[in-house]
Amino acid sequence: MAQYRRAGAAVAVIRLHNAPVNALSSAVVQALAQGVKKADLDPSVKAVVICGANGKFSAGADIRTFSSLQPRDRPALAETVSLIERSQKPVVAAIEGVALGGGLEVALGCHYRIAHAQARVGFPEVLLGILPAAEGTQRLPRLIGIPAALDLITTGRHVLAAEALKLGIIDEIVKENTVERAIELASKVSGQPLGPRKISLKPVPDLPDMEAILSEALVKVKRKARGRLSPEMCIQAIKAAVQLPFAEGVEKERELFRFLLGSGQAKAQQYAFFAERAVEKWTMPSGTSWKTASAQPIRKAAVIGLGTMGRGIVTSLVKAKMLVVALEQDQKQLDIGREAVTSLLQWEASKMQQSGQSQDICDPARLQFTLDFGALRDVDLVIEAVFEDMALKKEIFRKLSTICKPEAFLCTNTSALDIDEIAAVTSHPHQVIGTHFFSPAHVMKLLEVIRGHHTSPTTIATAMSLAKTLNKVGVLVGNCFGFVGNRMMAPYVEQAIFLLEEGCKPEEVDQAVEGFGFHMGPFRMLDLAGLDVGWRSRKGQGLTGPKLAPGTPARQRESRRYSPLPDFLCEQGRYGQKAGKGWYLYEKPGGRTANPDPWLYNFLSEYRETHGIKARFVDQEEILERCLYALINEGFQILADRIASAPEDIDVIYIYGYGWPTHRGGPMFHASTVGLPHVLSRLQKYSEAHPDIPKLQPSPFLKKLVALGSPPLREWVSHVRQPSSKL
């Protein structure tokens, strides 16, 4: 848990030990405290070094133990940090790998800090719905000043050693032998006065406009937080550092920590942390999993199509230091694509430069632009990223099947299309897989990885490993129209549009959903994505356009309710932001400011009149429940259909791909929080009121879980019916 040894005659080394990241469990904290006391009591010890095993200082408090912490518990870690600082002998932190959260707090209790050049430090607690609660909110501002402390504590960002040195968090950077260097320093400084090295004794550096800095920071985080409490509480704690003596500031920090720990938000954010890690450990319905499948190395990749998605994908691959072939169909598109990729890479390089990282990502030798499919002969993996046209995709895959080497992996970037139909035109369907990137692909963290019927475990492992290489979160899902993300989006958007028919305005629906914490409500999102995308898809499905059977009632398809509203908008050229008008009016085509549009109000009134709909007032609760519960209901069906293998998969997809607020843990976690019987009863109520909307009829799986007494979320999958045995 923490090894104590002697280095040379006079230095004691305490090494934190708790694989894989030296999390500070209570056993580790206790052992650390014992080590410090032992060194203090031993007159032959003149100085102490604290370091971590396996090249990592510590990733902080053990998050797994938080659920058992009682809000009134006194953080033992804080007492240990202060014990370190009170030590009569100099204590040096030797930081390798990471010193995060409680790990950094331990380091701040030390009198000196040395870090390896690749080490990262930070206070990521805010991302877990809490705040640094081992006196970190009181020490960091004293060490680096208020503006920098506000930035680090409210964003949770990790900083590399170079930046940490500049900020004054660490005293020295070394390229190797961090612990040995720390031992040397400890020997050198033994006997020197410790007072000036104790951060708790320092005043917070004063600034003339302190009040203004704090209140501006508060306004900024409140605007960004969309209902998340922790950033605001972090500011309260930092404010206490400014206004109160150290000990009272620490009391305030504890009070705020207890408040956050007891809030549902901390639970949701910690669930999201572990969900993100759980999805890496994928399983197929056959039982094959990450444990037995091994990924193949990808040295060289190709991207076909340099539209918005293709450009982002190329940028991601280049950033990950792969050799990349970028292919387009004609010279003009190729030139446009090259220019766009080059400027994306330059932008990425400048961002990296600002954060002190090396920026050799734009090496042109690694990126080849071509019109020639022959250039794909030796690539290990291809990502086709042309637009959503099945015939075109099949033509490309037929070609790839003859040109690429037999062991190449063939990925299709699609948001809805059938992976099996595409794989069927190739001679290696087991090497075909869906990779649904989200726009902008070089920024968005999510990669939905879609297994086809024939996709091999090696192909899945390779695609999941590619996600990690690209610094994305890969989630493995099954093949169905829209997969997980877009399949759940469809009933959500459908409800939003039905609500307009019934009397809402787009901004009322958007405000309700944004008030819940989403980045964007459904109508702003549709305008951003382009209304023509859905229109094309509906025409393809024969729901509108020339394939629609003559005489079909305007608001009905088969026996289901249908809204032709978005089709009418598209017929008027209102494609959304790019056209300068859609559900909202924009200042110009491509403009970003969504303004309510009087034209739309008239249009909606006339539409209701034509169809004999009496507009009614719909309250926020109904807006939210109809949109969100329709989406969640589809999530239960997706679990029952084994398209997602666990609720965590769905939640991670929604957090990283669709802007679901992290502090609400994802749609399935949210359902478990508000209670399955509640979700069921509301769906029952709405489906009775709207019997012609099948997506409001509660999923049989949701009903089953409620009948079973609403087991906790982690048990849900065990109640999914297993496919019948072939025997």
Please give the residue ranges that form the binding site for ligand LOW37U6P (CB under 6 A). 20-21, 23, 26, 59-65, 75, 77, 98, 100-102, 124-125, 128, 132-134, 277
Nearest-angstrom CA–CA distance, 306 and 33: 57
Tokens of 614: 């009496």
C-beta closer to ligand LOW37U6P: residue 60 or 429: 60
> Is residue 369 classed as helix, strand or coil in its secondary structure?
strand
Question: Considering the complex, what minimum distance in angstroms separates the CB of residue 417 from ligand LOW37U6P?
Answer: 32
Tell me whether residue 499 is exposed, middle or buried, using C-beta atoms within 10 angstroms of its C-beta: 0 to 12, 13 to 18, 19 or more: buried
Question: Considering the complex, what minimum distance in angstroms separates the CB of residue 24 from ligand LOW37U6P?
Answer: 7
Residue 168 falls in which region: left (phi positive, over 0), alpha (psi -120 to 50) or beta: left
Nearest-angstrom CA–CA distance, 383 and 411: 5
Q: Do residues 530 and 644 lie in contact, with contact meaning Cβ atoms separated by under 8 Å?
A: no
C-beta closer to ligand LOW37U6P: residue 385 or 447: 447
Give one DSSP letter per residue of 482-523, joined into a string. TTTHHHHHHHHHHHHHHHHHHT--HHHHHHHHHHHT-SS-HH
Q: CA nearest 327: which of 298, 363, 345, 300?
A: 300
Tokens of 503: 């009397």
In degrees rounded to 5, what are phi and psi of residue 236?
A: -60, -40
Tokens of 352: 């990296």
Q: Is 587 a catalytic residue?
A: no
Question: Considering the complex, what minimum distance in angstroms separates the CB of residue 262 from ligand LOW37U6P?
Answer: 13
Question: Considering the complex, what minimum distance in angstroms separates the CB of residue 19 from ligand LOW37U6P?
Answer: 9
C-beta closer to ligand LOW37U6P: residue 98 or 326: 98
Q: CA nearest 23: which of 138, 101, 119, 136?
A: 101
Nearest-angstrom CA–CA distance, 643 and 639: 6
Q: CA nearest 522: which of 624, 662, 634, 673?
A: 624
Residue 318: other Cβ atoms inside 10 A? 24
Question: Considering the complex, what minimum distance in angstroms separates the CB of residue 36 from ligand LOW37U6P?
Answer: 17
Question: Considering the complex, what minimum distance in angstroms separates the CB of residue 54 from ligand LOW37U6P?
Answer: 11
Helix/strand/coil (H/E/C) assignment for every residue in 244-296: CCHHHHHHHHHHHHHHHHCCHHHHHHHHHHHHHHHCCCCECCCCCECCCCCCC
C-beta closer to ligand LOW37U6P: residue 126 or 683: 126
In degrees rounded to 5, what are phi and psi of residue 675?
A: 105, 125
Nearest-angstrom CA–CA distance, 612 and 577: 31
Q: Round the CA-based radius of gyration of the chain to a whole number and report it.
A: 28
> Is residue 383 classed as helix, strand or coil in its secondary structure?
strand
Question: Considering the complex, what minimum distance in angstroms separates the CB of residue 437 from ligand LOW37U6P?
Answer: 21
C-beta closer to ligand LOW37U6P: residue 290 or 523: 290
C-beta closer to ligand LOW37U6P: residue 101 or 337: 101
Exactly one of 85, 96, 125, 384 is catalytic; name it: 125
Ranked by CB distance to ligand LOW37U6P, the top (closest) residue is 101
How would you list the strands of the sheet with 2-7, edge to edge?
2-7, 11-16, 47-52, 91-95, 112-116, 172-174
C-beta closer to ligand LOW37U6P: residue 102 or 576: 102
Nearest-angstrom CA–CA distance, 255 and 244: 14
CA angle (169 as vertex; 346, 5 as ends), nearest 5: 120
Helix-strand-coil percent breakdown of the chain, rounded to 5?
A: 50, 10, 35
C-beta closer to ligand LOW37U6P: residue 260 or 298: 260
Question: Considering the complex, what minimum distance in angstroms separates the CB of residue 472 from ligand LOW37U6P?
Answer: 12
Question: Considering the complex, what minimum distance in angstroms separates the CB of residue 231 from ligand LOW37U6P?
Answer: 15
C-beta closer to ligand LOW37U6P: residue 281 or 608: 281
Angle between helices 246-261 and 264-278 (to 10 degrees): 70
Tokens of 590: 């491509």
Q: Is 105 a catalytic residue?
A: yes
Question: Considering the complex, what minimum distance in angstroms separates the CB of residue 28 from ligand LOW37U6P?
Answer: 9
Exactly one of 85, 105, 276, 494 is catalytic; name it: 105
Question: Considering the complex, what minimum distance in angstroms separates the CB of residue 273 from ligand LOW37U6P?
Answer: 7
Q: List CB contacts of 630: < 8 A, sequence separation 6 or more.
A: 491, 492, 494, 495, 683, 695, 696
C-beta closer to ligand LOW37U6P: residue 60 or 478: 60
C-beta closer to ligand LOW37U6P: residue 62 or 348: 62
Quote the DSSP letter at residue 205: P
C-beta closer to ligand LOW37U6P: residue 59 or 706: 59
Question: Considering the complex, what minimum distance in angstroms separates the CB of residue 277 from ligand LOW37U6P?
Answer: 4
Question: Using omega within 30 degrees of 0 as the cis cutoff, is the peptide bond preceding 440 cis?
Answer: yes
Quote the DSSP letter at residue 58: B
Question: Which of the residues are catalytic?
Answer: 105, 125
